[in-house]
Structure 1
Amino acid sequence: MAKNKHSGKIVQNSRLLVGLVLLVLSIPYSAEARQKPNILWINCDDLGKELSSYGNQQVHTPVIDRLAREGQVFTNAYANAPVCSSSRSSQILGLYPTRLPILNHRNMSPVALPDSVPTIMQLFREAGYFCSNGAAGDLAKPGKEDYNFVAEDLFDGTDWRQRQEGQPFFAQVQIHEPHRTFVHDELHPIDPAEISLPALYPDHPLIRADWARYLESVQRADRWVGEILDRLEEDGELESTIVILYGDHGRPHLRDKQWLYEGGLAVPLIIRYPNSLNAGKVDHRLISLVDISASTLGLAGLPIPIDWDGKDIIGGAKNSYIYGFRQRCGDAVDDIRSISDGEYKLIWNRMPEQPYMQLSSYKKLQYPAYTLYRDLDQKGELSAPFSAFMATTKPDYELYHLKVDPYEIENLADNPAYQGELLRLKEQLERQLQAVETYPQEESEALIQQAKSSSRKYYQEAMQRRNLGPDPTDAEILDYWNHELLLNQKPKTKK
């Protein structure tokens, strides 16, 4: 890939400094190297803030709660992209996903990174660290990557136990839950009738059952975290390892994942330090997952590339604003940006002609609410505010006062009393985008059609595995979900 003119200076000084440090060391794992802290990222797929330690008392998450008590909890942590490939790419590069062609989900034409743009793993390797990425439950298997660029040998292995004796490690462990398909938790089942739904969802039996199954999947993730921490302790590494747990983006529900609302971007972030440092500390500063790599390098005492967008929040840096970026997700083509100062959120819909409920084959397949909304709307039974999601167009701007409207239901963009806030956030967003939108994210019509064809094929094959045929009706899809979630039995096979 040709070097991007806006990213050409990245890490040159930092990498030179690291190289000089390694040159001074006679062997890479000397006494000095042994004193470096191990770092462990625990990345939970689609994990929102539905944890006991974040105030949700309907879910049983004792391990993560203990991690929170022993560590530092960030209450205002956000992904900068609401879908895995864009968010994960941004995380390991320390760059906003508009710096490179990494914003469209599952990039249909991925390219190699410029030589001047390293991953965080590359920087840790140059400092003598062993870099691993494994799957929770079986660290002999590689963990999820899902990056929107081409790269080889990003990791040295799958398990920190594969490193040389005395070598510090930077390990990542990927937990699939609570990504769909949700899993039932037989140890701590959740009764859908007893849960409290967030106010942005209609109170319907299918929505309740789906939400309960999501919470049960969060509980399953909690047990994976327990296994990972037990393994660290068994190896005698728990008190020499900084553990960082977070979700790669927000929760997997209709108005959340793939959207720049709080549900799509807000994530838990918990850091446990050795020897109970900062135990029980609650941090309310704004932090984006674009900051996670810079903060991790800072914790290891390593240089941070000067041109990274991410900041070392742990080291004391602050964000006045955080930003969100959404482009094509599967076959749903869109273009959205957001800015928040923690009190107000502005969303800029740059393709307002695209409806909220445009075809998303992934959501039609996996989200019962997707078909339920369509069915209720056709029957005239989907009331406000939920019916607003069925509009055929979107407003250019959406402004929400998060302190009084955390579910982002009342759009204040046209309210005269809030024009000052609208203008302030709009001007700041435009300034930021001029600085960070250094690579066009538009795709050719041929690539868009390729993405749509791929999504369509995935959808049809999955529906056939459900014995519903390649193109089931909404009634047939709802029948499937009723049996799957409410009756807990297999639906009838389509003839």
Structure 2
Amino acid sequence: MKRLWALLFVCIALYLGPGGLHAQERQDVQERQDVQERQDVQERPNILFAFADDWGYPHAGAYGDPTVNTPTFDRLAAEGVLFTRAFVSSPSCTPSRGAVLAGQDFWRLGAAANLWSTFPEDVEVYPSLLAERSGYAVGHTRKGWGPGRIGDRSHNPAGPAFDRFTQFLDQRSGDQPFAFWFGSHDPHRTYSDSLRRAMGIDPATVEVPPMLPDVPAVRRDIANYYAEVQRFDREVGRLLQTLAERGELKNTIVVMSGDHGWPFPRGKANLYDAGTRVPLAIWWPDRVEAGRTISEFVNLTDLAPTFLEVGGVPVPEEMTGQSLMDLLVPSEHDRPERGRDYVVMGRERHTPAQESPNDGGYPVRALRTDDYLYIRNYYPDRWPAGTPHYRRAATNNGWLGDTDNGPTKFYLWAHRSGRSRLQELYEQSFAKRPAVELYDLRSDPHQLHNVATDPDYAEVRKRLGERLPTLLRRRDDPRAIGTNPTLDRPPYFGGIPSWPGDSTLTPYR
């Protein structure tokens, strides 16, 4: 309504022409326009997006984790909205972050569907749209989009880089709203025992999921991961304190999440929940009803259209994400939008970790519903986490390259044969997988028992096996429509986890 009045004043002035209004009247019109523009700017909320690196679900106090201490996230959840089924588009940093920025499924990003690639120049991202079409100040600190190369862009797709959040706030003009991306490097490996001790985390209290061995080395590894989660949470708390001190917190929507699951075997770079499910809380004073928990499926591609909607920018048609506004601020008469009863995810090349230089990676797609996880492995003859035979690796000394090196990986390798249970755990993370995997989440929430060949699940396998490619074709997945040249072997600009040597592995035997 306010914008309509401003438009009306302009139309009157244009209709009457220079002689139709006295100088004082024209000045009054201009002043009303100026006031209206300032009011519009003030009504648009600031957007603070706090994005962790390798932080997975359910590692926060708000989800019932008994060990990790996350008071900032818990506050946002208690005073805002907590999402219990938030998933990423791809469980790898570069494609996941690109999908968030573009609001599109990762496979639509060309080379950027892969780790350590190049971001396409023709893909629009929400920070630039907010800046160009709604006057937002945009910026990021630390890890924005990436790792990768940005081509001819003048700055990272997440926005211009700043050393500190306060530096970014100080350079804004007047009441200009902002959209800031705080990209922490926590809790990415490597980890520190000293930080864990400083945080006071006792490895004896951590919960070890059943896909990992419950031994002291793994408990310490998880506890060290928790220490970095806590450091990330504390830093976000300081950002909120800064905004509170400046009187800007109340007009800020705060979103806190992670770019994919934790960096443990069968987690990061895998389509099981440990790799794709992430924490998500959204806090928006006076607009979002406090204390709600939302169980509908959401994908982090939904954030870009959400940010554009709250910033008053039309959502581009190419965005495949759905705005979350129907969930965040449902009207009194409207029920939240349906159709959020599943999520589709996938991955392409994480690292060049196979034995043949002609193999691009390990392409996979998955359909996650309430009761089932259906996974399609396109090349079951390849290694899902990279070759274990480092002497044969296409990349020099590449060793299980799609899983970050660390104590848990070392322990599983050291016990890959002999004791049957540890051998089974090793193979679940690193052995080759069949073309189709199917998990019944009602009885197997950690997705450890593949029932794809069980006759009792034949109908489910058929139904989901038909539904997944249909959904992929609708969303222009090159794997589904047969146009995938940019997905197979784009340039790779990074390193790869490599064989650590027998001396490193000796303590884990």
Q: With the length of structure 1 as denominator, give the TM-score of the two structures.
A: 0.81
Residue among 281, 286, 304 paired with 2:315: 304
Query: What corresponds to 1:45 in structure 2?
Result: 53
1:416 has 2:455 as partner: yes
Query: What corresponds to 1:476 in structure 2?
Result: 503
Aligned partner of residue 69 in structure 1, secondary structure: helix
Alignment of 1:287-298 (within 5 A): 287-298=298-309
1:325 has 2:331 as partner: no
1:229 has 2:240 as partner: yes
Aligned partner of residue 405 in structure 1, secondary structure: coil
Query: What corresponds to 1:358 in structure 2?
Result: 386
Residue among 377, 397, 408 paired with 1:369: 408
The code of the aligned residue for 2:130 comes to F
Kept after mapping to 2: 8 A contact 1:88/1:146:
no
Q: Deviations over 1:194-235 (max 9, x none)?
A: 322111111122211111111111111111111111111111
Kept after mapping to 2: 8 A contact 1:260/1:324:
yes
The code of the aligned residue for 1:202 comes to P
1:166 has 2:175 as partner: yes
Q: Kindly tell me: are residues 219 and 111 of structure 1, through their superposed partners in 2, closer, same or farther at Cα, counting changes over 3 Å?
A: closer
Residue among 217, 236, 239 paired with 2:228: 217
Q: Distance in 1 between matches of 2:380 and 2:240?
A: 46
Query: What corresponds to 2:495 in structure 1?
Result: 455
- Once the two structures are TM-superposed, the CA of residue 41 in structure 1 deviates from its matched residue by 0.6
Aligned partner of residue 420 in structure 1, secondary structure: helix
Aligned partner of residue 107 in structure 2, secondary structure: coil
Query: What corresponds to 1:146 in structure 2?
Result: 147
Q: Distance in 2 between matches of 1:236 and 1:477?
A: 52
Kept after mapping to 1: 8 A contact 2:350/2:402:
no
Q: Kindly tell me: are residues 430 and 148 of structure 1, through their superposed partners in 2, closer, same or farther at Cα, counting changes over 3 Å?
A: farther
Q: Distance in 2 between matches of 1:338 and 1:221?
A: 30
Residue among 335, 339, 342 paired with 2:370: 342
Kept after mapping to 1: 8 A contact 2:103/2:304:
yes
Residue among 82, 104, 121 paired with 2:114: 104
Kept after mapping to 1: 8 A contact 2:109/2:120:
no
Q: Deviations over 1:41-77 (max 9, x none)?
A: 1111111120010110111112211121111000000
The code of the aligned residue for 2:125 comes to T
Query: What corresponds to 1:121 in structure 2?
Result: 127
1:185 has 2:196 as partner: yes
- Once the two structures are TM-superposed, the CA of residue 384 in structure 1 deviates from its matched residue by 6.3
- Once the two structures are TM-superposed, the CA of residue 253 in structure 1 deviates from its matched residue by 0.8
The code of the aligned residue for 1:356 comes to P
Kept after mapping to 1: 8 A contact 2:362/2:383:
no
Q: Deviations over 1:238-277 (max 9, x none)?
A: 1010101111111111110000000100001100012373
Q: Distance in 1 between matches of 2:363 and 2:402?
A: 18
- Once the two structures are TM-superposed, the CA of residue 472 in structure 1 deviates from its matched residue by 4.3
Higher alpha-carbon deviation: 368-377 or 76-85: 368-377
Kept after mapping to 1: 8 A contact 2:72/2:234:
yes
Query: What corresponds to 1:402 in structure 2?
Result: 441
Q: Distance in 1 between matches of 2:174 and 2:508?
A: 51
Q: Distance in 2 between matches of 1:435 and 1:246?
A: 28
Query: What corresponds to 2:394 in structure 1?
Result: none
The code of the aligned residue for 1:134 comes to T
- Once the two structures are TM-superposed, the CA of residue 174 in structure 1 deviates from its matched residue by 1.1
The code of the aligned residue for 1:300 comes to G
Kept after mapping to 2: 8 A contact 1:58/1:195:
yes
The code of the aligned residue for 1:327 comes to E
- Once the two structures are TM-superposed, the CA of residue 438 in structure 1 deviates from its matched residue by 4.6
Residue among 264, 273, 291 paired with 1:262: 273
Q: Kindly tell me: are residues 70 and 190 of structure 1, through their superposed partners in 2, closer, same or farther at Cα, counting changes over 3 Å?
A: same
Higher alpha-carbon deviation: 166-175 or 360-369: 360-369
Q: Distance in 2 between matches of 1:213 and 1:444?
A: 35
Query: What corresponds to 1:208 in structure 2?
Result: 219
Aligned partner of residue 463 in structure 2, secondary structure: helix
Aligned partner of residue 325 in structure 2, secondary structure: coil
Aligned partner of residue 325 in structure 1, secondary structure: strand
Q: Kindly tell me: are residues 100 and 454 of structure 1, through their superposed partners in 2, closer, same or farther at Cα, counting changes over 3 Å?
A: closer
Query: What corresponds to 2:284 in structure 1?
Result: 273
Q: Distance in 2 between matches of 1:480 and 1:298?
A: 54
Kept after mapping to 1: 8 A contact 2:98/2:109:
no
Aligned partner of residue 474 in structure 2, secondary structure: helix
How many correspondences in the alignment? 436
Q: Distance in 2 between matches of 1:167 and 1:480?
A: 56
Q: Which has the larger radius of gyration?
A: 2
Q: Kindly tell me: are residues 390 and 274 of structure 1, through their superposed partners in 2, closer, same or farther at Cα, counting changes over 3 Å?
A: closer
Kept after mapping to 1: 8 A contact 2:190/2:406:
no
- Structure 1 gaps of 5+ residues are 1-19, 136-141, 461-470, 483-495
Q: Deviations over 1:12-38 (max 9, x none)?
A: xxxxxxxx99x9966995221222111
The code of the aligned residue for 2:53 comes to D
Q: Kindly tell me: are residues 242 and 395 of structure 1, through their superposed partners in 2, closer, same or farther at Cα, counting changes over 3 Å?
A: same
Q: Deviations over 1:275-309 (max 9, x none)?
A: 37311011101000111111222233432122310
Kept after mapping to 1: 8 A contact 2:344/2:368:
yes
Q: Distance in 1 between matches of 2:430 and 2:116?
A: 27
Q: Kindly tell me: are residues 276 and 93 of structure 1, through their superposed partners in 2, closer, same or farther at Cα, counting changes over 3 Å?
A: closer
The code of the aligned residue for 1:324 comes to M
Query: What corresponds to 1:425 in structure 2?
Result: 464
Kept after mapping to 1: 8 A contact 2:366/2:375:
yes
Aligned partner of residue 477 in structure 1, secondary structure: helix
The code of the aligned residue for 1:291 comes to D
Kept after mapping to 1: 8 A contact 2:80/2:292:
yes
1:70 has 2:91 as partner: no
Residue among 129, 134, 142 paired with 2:141: 134
Q: Distance in 2 between matches of 1:303 and 1:365?
A: 40
Q: Kindly tell me: are residues 384 and 146 of structure 1, through their superposed partners in 2, closer, same or farther at Cα, counting changes over 3 Å?
A: closer
Q: Distance in 2 between matches of 1:297 and 1:111?
A: 21
- Once the two structures are TM-superposed, the CA of residue 182 in structure 1 deviates from its matched residue by 2.2
